[in-house]
Amino acid sequence: MALIGILGGMGPLATVDFMERVIELTSSAGAVRDQQHLPLLVVHLPHIPDRSAAMLGDGESPLPALLHGIDILNRNEVELVVIPCNSAHHWYDELHAKSRAPIIHIAEASVEALPPGARRVAVLATGGTLHSGLYQRILAARGFEPVEPDAATQRHVDACINDVKAGKIGASTEHLARALDWLARQGAQVAVLGCTELPLAAQQMGAPPIPTIDSTLELARATVSYALSHGWNRPV
């Protein structure tokens, strides 16, 4: 039986949200009974040190703990790895080198989902992810112009992320709405929700001022597409 390995816990709600998306997408693809869903092995490691703080030079490196998670997945012989945390992909090369299975890159999957007519793309992410340039490099390589929040707007993004991690989804939504409104006024045509907490806040919003790309959803779409193409939804 082929297993999809999820390196999760970053954060806990985001991991569960990702799993729900995989199940929903598999159902939409025709699954009508348990045996037609995808086998998932979840390594839930919420004690991994803060990724954003580490990228900003203000915290312990999470890489040893991330590699430990990959070791667990390797020992269980998973055939695909997904990590529903954008910030963790700062260490993608090291994780990819350690993993025996391919790892889907969440930022690559998200940028691939951008509408071709868009040019100015807002990036909403942790301060560390923004500082690392993870999304900016991928966007620029594909001809998009990244639009970053100013300091005041980034405080709203950070507050939104922190509220979701604390389970305060209602409070998080207002911060996200303010950030999107400011970015829309700067001429951004679409916004990438480049932290997997942000889609949880977006689910409680009305219509946003600009279209958004949900990184959790795009990772789930890429995961389900890969798995279905390999027939992992068919009982052995």
| Residue 235 in this model has a pLDDT that exceeds 90 | no
82 with 135, same domain: the answer is: no
Is the distance from CB of 165 to CB of 196 less than 8 angstroms? no
- Longest Cα separation, the chain: 54
> Is 211 inside any structural domain?
yes
- Please indicate, yes or no, whether residues 61 and 115 belong to a single structural domain of this protein: no
Is residue 81 domain-shared with residue 120, that is, in the same domain?
Answer: no
Q: How would residue 116 be classed by pLDDT, with cut points 50, 70 and 90?
A: confident
Q: What is the pLDDT of residues 138-161, one digit of tens each?
A: 999 999 999 999 999 999 999 999
Q: Tell whether 94 and 12 lie within a shared domain.
A: yes
Residue 146: its H or E element: strand 145-147
Q: pLDDT digits over 68-113, tens only?
A: 999 999 999 999 999 999 999 999 999 999 999 999 999 999 999 9
Q: Is residue 234 part of a domain?
A: no
The length of the chain is 236
Residue 103: strand pairing partners: 81
∠ Cα 135 87 213 (to 5°): 50
Per-residue pLDDT averaged across 54-67, rounded? 97
Task: Say if 42 falls within a structural domain.
Answer: yes
In terms of domains, do 40 and 86 share one? yes
- State the average pLDDT over residues 161-184: 97
43 burial level (CB within 10 Å; 0-12, 13-18, 19+): buried
Give me the CATH number covering residue 196.
3.40.50.1860
101 & 141 share domain: no
In a domain, 236, yes or no: no
Q: Global pTM?
A: 0.97
Asked whether residue 94 falls in the same domain as residue 132, the answer is no
* pLDDT for 236: 64
Do 96 and 118 share a structural domain?
no
Same domain, residue pair 208 and 125: yes
- Looking at the structure, tell me whether residues 171 and 117 fall in a common domain: yes
Q: How many CA atoms lie within 13 A of 132 on its CB side?
A: 25
| 124 vs 147: CA distance, rounded Å | 9
- Do 30 and 79 share a structural domain? yes
Pair 183, 195 in one domain: yes
* pLDDT above 90 for 67: yes
In a domain, 73, yes or no: yes
DSSP secondary structure of 139-153: HHHTT-EEE---HHH
Q: Which residue has the tokens 């193409």?
A: 229
Identify whether 235 is part of a domain. no
Q: Is residue 121 part of a domain?
A: yes
User: Which distant-in-sequence residues (6+ apart) come within 8 Å of 24 by Cβ?
Assistant: none
How many structural domains does the chain have? 2
Q: What is the mean pLDDT of residues 115-131?
A: 96
Q: Judge whether 144 lies within some domain.
A: yes
What is the DSSP code string of 45-60?
-TTSPPHHHHHTTSS-
Expressed as residue numbers, the domain containing 22 is 4-105+218-229
